[in-house]
Amino acid sequence: MSDFANFRAVYDELTDEVSRSRHQFLPDHLRSWFRHLKETPGVNEIVAHLESGLDFDNWYAEQKTRQTGAGSGTLRYPADRKQQLGMKLLLFRHFAAGKEAAWQFAHAFVYSSSDLNELTHGVIEQIFQPMARELRRHLEAEFARADEVPASDRVVRLDHNSKSYAEAIEAITRLEQAVSAANTFDDPDEKDQREAEVSAAGRLMKAAQVRLEALAAVLKPILVQFATKVKDNVISTAAVTVSGALITLFGIVMKNLLGL
């Protein structure tokens, strides 16, 4: 919980700053809010997991096709609650990047008046504030689960069709190829062992479900050896990619199991 100890106070402060923003300052406050999420270890991976596999551009284009006049648009989020939360996060990343002003969005979906600040606050009150509260609860639950669930109970069903799963499989495959082609091992037996461990991880990931403790056990030696100690080579790059992909797929639990 040390990574999360100071998160909530700053999160609440930045959320309040977004909530009080005038229309021209909203993107800046949103960027600060998202930066805090990104720079907090563990939180960044949980948020990435929520957003993983979602196609915001196609979703938003579909929402706009149903809008016929001021305030007539209806937002239809994915049925899954975590995907709903992820899509809302991507919507506010859209505003933070300056791709569209919140008041322009409000004109189509939450129209209240012609005043730009009132339109902006309509979006904040109706979408951002409930989303921020839901995200806070989700983060607290994820950190609590990571602390409380015994490693032996961490069995996760795998969605072989998800983008995050495909990225994890690809990353493991590339790591295995990098180890196989490497000439940086002083001991050939160590190289064979590392290659066998990565191969075992790939086989574990092909099942319908995986025990996270077992997956972490076979990958931790090479990920710790190369992702945290050796820099600027092919195996190091591949190891960092595997770590990120697995944390995105499984969340803070995997980060803790890997000891990263």
**Residue 55's pLDDT band (cuts 50, 70, 90):** very high
Q: How many Cβ atoms are within 10 Å of 2's Cβ, its own excluded?
A: 7
**Residue ranges per domain, the chain?**
2-148, 152-258
Could you tell me the pLDDT band of residue 1, with boundaries at 50, 70 and 90?
Answer: very low
pLDDT band per the 50, 70, 90 thresholds, residue 57: very high
* pLDDT at 11 > cutoff 90: yes
Q: How far apart are CA 181 and CA 191, in angstroms?
A: 10
Residues 6+ apart with CB under 8 A from 130: none
Smallest CA-to-CA distance from 124 within 30, 18, 228 is with 18
What is the pTM (predicted TM-score) of this model? 0.63
Looking at per-residue pLDDT, the higher value among 231 and 147 belongs to: 147
SS3 (DSSP) at 228: coil
What tens digit of pLDDT does each residue of 12-24 get?
999 999 999 999 9
Smallest Cα–Cα separation from 220: which of 258, 164, 183? Answer: 258
pLDDT tops 60 at residue 70 = no
Interval 197-217: pLDDT, tens: 999 999 999 999 998 889 999
Contact 120, 24 (CB under 8 A): no
